[in-house]
Structure 1
Amino acid sequence: MQILDVNGNTTIESVASEGASIFLIHNGNRVKLQYLSYAQSKGGSDGGPSGWIPIAAETDNGVSTVVIRFTYSSGLSDSLYQAIDFAKDSGKVIRIHGKDNTLYPLGETPGDVNQLIFWGADATKFFNKFGSIISPRTFLSDARDSLTGQANFNIALMGGNDFLEVTGGSNNFANGNNGEDYIVLRGGQGRYLGGADNDRLEVFAAEAGSQVNGNRGMDVVTGSVDGVIYRGGSENDTLQVSAGTVWGDKGADTFQAVTGAGVAVVQDYTVGKDFVQGIAGGSFTLTDQGLSYGVGNDQMLLLLNVNDASQVSVI
């Protein structure tokens, strides 16, 4: 599985083991998107696109708009773009966005596929229209990239064991993709995904609303900034957080008690599966929200909706 994009509460993922199917996740509901095949005529003598990938999505009023980028191996230097509206609960195509702000319901699309794809001068109009959910993403190489002092970016780090340091900006986005990546936040606001393999994401400073997510692999997520959302991802992760909103997500996760100002509010401690890594002198206190863990007046973890300390595995 590869996370392609996260926009607010909408996520796109590609799953190679399921025939490279594309899934859209909105508020926890995961649906497979209906596949549309097009006999593209702009690929030169070999015809058709050499690849396509969803690059952004946004859900509003029951409709998920997905932006797709096509690439060609010959005959066309530009990338082509398309926008399709899917039903968020079924993944079925509702309509396709055409040129001149025309909307074509499925089954009523024009015979000329060029009316449904955007490139060149039309691509500028396309980005103006869908600028609220997409900005052009920079795809780096499969080599090891090291980026310091970054701000105001939208990047895919691709392969290699990459390093990214964020110092500012707003609406930043980064996906580590393959490799054991290290992402450090020292400022700014944005969304940061570790991608595949065992990644490390560390938050020293960030603006409220920022999100870090280990994604796949056995990741280590560290932070001390309240107002940030910390997520482990799909496998057995370690979350070393002293303040903020914490999700282990899937897998057997370890929530480590960390001293410092604030409390790490754990949203999804799973009894019989997850662990709390304790500290000398630590103990549980029952609150109206769940179990609080700490030493004296320093409350470090709050396990929401867990009310019995005997149900918590402490290591």
Structure 2
Amino acid sequence: MTRTTPPRPLDVEALFPELAAYRGTTTRLHPRPGSPDISSSSVGGPLLWPRDEPWPVCTEPHARGAGRRPADIHRERQVLAAAWDRAPDAGPTEQERALLKELAQKHRVAGLADTDPLPMLGVAQFYRRDLPDLPAGPDGADLLQVFWCPFDRHGRTGYGMSLDLRWHRSSEVTEMLPAPPRPAVVGFEGYVPQPCVLHPEQVTTYPFAGLLPDELCARIDAWEEALEEEASAAPDDAPGPPAYQYDLSIPPGWRVGGFASWHVTDPSPMDCHACGAPMDLLLTIDSREWDGGNGSWKPLEDRDLPAHRSALPTEVAVGRWGQLNVFSCPATRSHPHRWSVQ
């Protein structure tokens, strides 16, 4: 099934004609639970990985021998989904609650040192043929694969994530790795993606307001304040007014290309550490596909579904239910990526 973004509540270019010069596109991925195969773009599905290429591992020293088993996490999700579908208001049965308690237990892996190589989790893979806003990779690579460590124990603070992106030319992968290595336990269930098929859709997008010229940004702010003042006199159950950030510019959810949202922090320069070039947004990994603040982006095909069936399809949680923006160097795609959590 395709996914269709509803028309925007207002024509933002009619309100602010200058925005036409900043108009861009982004490809909403619309991941939904399914059974993707190795030849398709997916989240949490099998990856087309060469047999003779080492699987990405985390080598940073941190505790990695205790956590939850990925199979238990997937089973927990199945139980909860069945309970929600059966009786959304009643919740799990007593028997299901007992099983959930058992599945939530942590386990230890004997003999695993804090410096042993830890297999990263394969988060997603994206074929360029499927996604119009995905750029070509180094040397014409057409397949982007995303990995991360399943523990939050990296960087100077000791709480940062560890991300690894790899490019391949899919036509050159003739012998595939039959059984990728997997971590026995993970530190955070939000790092374990649920297998999802994608329903790509290219939509129009505009930059984050704070990155627009000061005069234009000020006019947008004044317009929003006027709408909020009008809404304050409306009945309590009246829908809120549209907002540039949440309804008219940058869609929520997993997407490729477009503009990054800086709704948590101030905009930060994302320049390539290798050559200094300003970097492009490559990918956004979002904890939610939509919520009450940006429900106008909920696809038409999902409008009658309960939230747990469409808003949280991948079961991925970034930070405090935020989003991960990954940037790449447009001058040389092989330069190291950078990322920001919002």
Which TM-score bucket, shorter chain as reference?
Answer: under 0.3
Query: What TM-score do the two structures reach when normalised by structure 2?
Result: 0.23
Q: Which has the higher helix share?
A: 2
Structure with the larger RCO, 1 or 2 (CA within 8 Å, 6+ apart): 2
Query: What TM-score do the two structures reach when normalised by structure 1?
Result: 0.24
Q: Which has the higher strand share?
A: 1
